[in-house]
Structure 1
């Protein structure tokens, strides 16, 4: 997520935590740790990555790099990338083909359904890797 989507990212992360998922957010990196290294560690160890797309997302060089890593992980196998609209934006082509979730209306049944869809996806992926 870009800085402009930080609150949306935290809202989503809290909801996924409540559903029993392990979640990483850069803003939760503890003092004394390097956010970039912690992000890399989280990306390498994850089976699911969600990237929030808002108006400034693709203008942020850090996010563009994370987007590239997410796509590379998908093509390496064993990883799922889920784009999430956090604003009214057009998604890049490789994100748009991946059945994005719509997180533009927090507090609505639609938002709750999209979060549940993400949590279900994460649970299914975890079960596959636990076998």
Structure 2
């Protein structure tokens, strides 16, 4: 069998479509203020996750040394503070970071990403509130145990 004769003509390739009504149009870029706001929200959530994890770990590590002879009220307060810190971590991971991801994922001409949307600010307030409650509880429990 003979191979097919070679041709000097290039194989035509289809031209890309320039349909202006395509639904895959790109979203407008975020402004500098929006970028900074989203980055701040994300970094704050990460810091709260890190600090909450550290406080719980330190509390558990030294619980035997401090809580052994402590009043039962202080132990209950310490347990509640760990629970609040855990809630803060979970809210930061699943609510705050999730709502930011959702807002950035939906970002388009029709629905621009808004870092001040109610779902984002509510999640951030909840995570901050639980973190402050857990931190305050840990400090108070430590102060009671030291007396």
**TM-score normalised to the size of structure 1?**
0.32
Greater length-normalized contact order (CA 8 Å, ≥ 6 residues apart): 2
Q: Return the index of the structure with the highest Cα Rg.
A: 2
Q: 1 or 2, which has the higher helix percentage?
A: 2
**TM-score normalised to the size of structure 2?**
0.29
Q: 1 or 2, which has the higher strand percentage?
A: 1
